[in-house]
């Protein structure tokens, strides 16, 4: 994969009149575009169609969280729209994941389905509250544990990957291996404004630690020179890729060593 194909721009804008100039300018320099709740609620499916019409790929980030039949039918609608990827919330349960995959698999060139594990805005204590624990039982849930368990379920029920933060990549890779997609938001180049993102990591760090794709919004969309910003990120992705392959090489050598020594 070319470094630029790992970069997905979050089109967090109120309408196509804002989105399309960005798409036209960047089409040849990114993997694709994330359409989230704001743009989709404002414009509907025509947002997907407009981007596809000029050759852009779309990740539909609507985080479907509902009963199995409803999510499966929404998945079919996304497949018909021709999006490259869409996501579901793993908290809707394993039956939902199973039914959604069964519904989209018959589609030729079906979209990749990613699972949202735990929203990064949630801390351990928020998970306790969501799970309905009483005050005395609080601090039972651990974020990383829930993320990894849900990622493993997602993989077990046939999803193609998960959305996770850069900090969770190692744990997810350890449990799910490398043949499982990871889409990572919340990264920023060194020196770039963090906006409202907390705990940010750099694109280089995320790629080196196993991110397949990065979702980056405002660092690019609000840049004075959008293409210059993308070039900067591309170079970081390339550095991260080199680090990742160096790690892979060390892993392979360690396995060879084990084999040679009969371990
Ligand atoms: O502008 P910025 O790069 O911060 O945008 C990141 C995008 O990734 C936004 O669309 C945001 O909704 C999304 N996202 C995130 N953190 C998550 C999940 C999604 O920032 N944990």
Q: What is the pLDDT of residues 134-180, one digit of tens each?
A: 776 666 678 888 899 999 999 999 999 999 999 999 999 999 999 99
Q: Do 63 and 95 form a contact (C-beta atoms < 8 A)?
A: no
> By the 8 A CB rule, do 29 and 227 touch?
yes
**Cα-based distances in Å from 220 to 42, 127, 189, 211:** 21, 32, 10, 19
Q: How far is the CA of 254 from the centre of ligand 1 (A)?
A: 37
Pocket of ligand 1 (CB under 6 A): 10, 12, 36, 119-120, 165, 185-186, 195, 197, 215-219
Rounded distance, CA 213 to CA 146, Å? 22
**All residues at 6 or more sequence positions from 230 whose CB lies less than 8 Å from its CB, including other chains:** 4, 7, 26, 29, 30, 220
User: For residue 57, what pLDDT is reported?
Assistant: 98
State which ligand 1 atom lies nearest to the alpha carbon of 195.
4
pLDDT of residue 259: 60
Nearest to 146 by CA among 170, 171, 173: 171
Whole-model pTM: value is 0.91
Positions marked active-site: 63
Pair of tokens at residue 159: 């999803």
Q: Which atom of ligand 1 is nearest the CA belonging to 163?
A: 18
Position in ligand 1 atom list of the atom nearest CA 185: 8
Q: Which parts of the chain have pLDDT scores under 50?
A: none
Going from the Cα of 251 to the center of ligand 1, the distance in angstroms, rounded, reads: 32
């Amino acid at each position: 994969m070319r470094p630029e194909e790992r970069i997905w721009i979050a089109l967090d804008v109120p309408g196509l009149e804002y989105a399309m100039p960005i798409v036209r300018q960047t089409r040849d320099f990114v993997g694709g575009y994330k359409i989230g709740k704001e743009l989709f609620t404002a414009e509907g499916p025509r947002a997907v169609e407009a981007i596809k019409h000029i050759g852009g790929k779309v990740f539909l980030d609507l985080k479907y969280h509902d009963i199995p039949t409803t999510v499966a039918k929404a998945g079919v609608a996304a497949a018909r729209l021709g999006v490259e990827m869409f996501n579901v919330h793993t908290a809707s349960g394993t039956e939902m994941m199973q039914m959604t995959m069964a519904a989209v698999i018959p589609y030729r060139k079906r979209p990749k389905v990613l699972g949202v594990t735990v929203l990064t805005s949630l801390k351990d204590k928020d998970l306790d509250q969501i799970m309905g624990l009483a005050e005395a039982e609080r601090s039972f849930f651990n974020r990383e544990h829930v993320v990894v368990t849900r990622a493993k379920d997602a993989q077990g029920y046939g999803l193609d990957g998960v959305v996770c933060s850069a900090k969770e990549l190692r744990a997810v890779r350890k449990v799910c291996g490398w043949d499982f997609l990871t889409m990572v938001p919340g990264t920023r180049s060194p020196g770039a404004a963090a906006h409202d993102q907390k705990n940010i990591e750099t694109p280089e760090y995320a790629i080196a630690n196993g991110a397949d794709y990065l979702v980056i919004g405002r660092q690019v969309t609000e840049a004075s020179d959008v293409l210059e910003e993308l070039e900067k990120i591309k170079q970081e992705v390339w550095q991260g890729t080199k680090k990742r392959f160096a790690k892979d090489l060390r892993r392979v050598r360690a396995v060879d060593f084990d084999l040679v020594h009969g371990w």
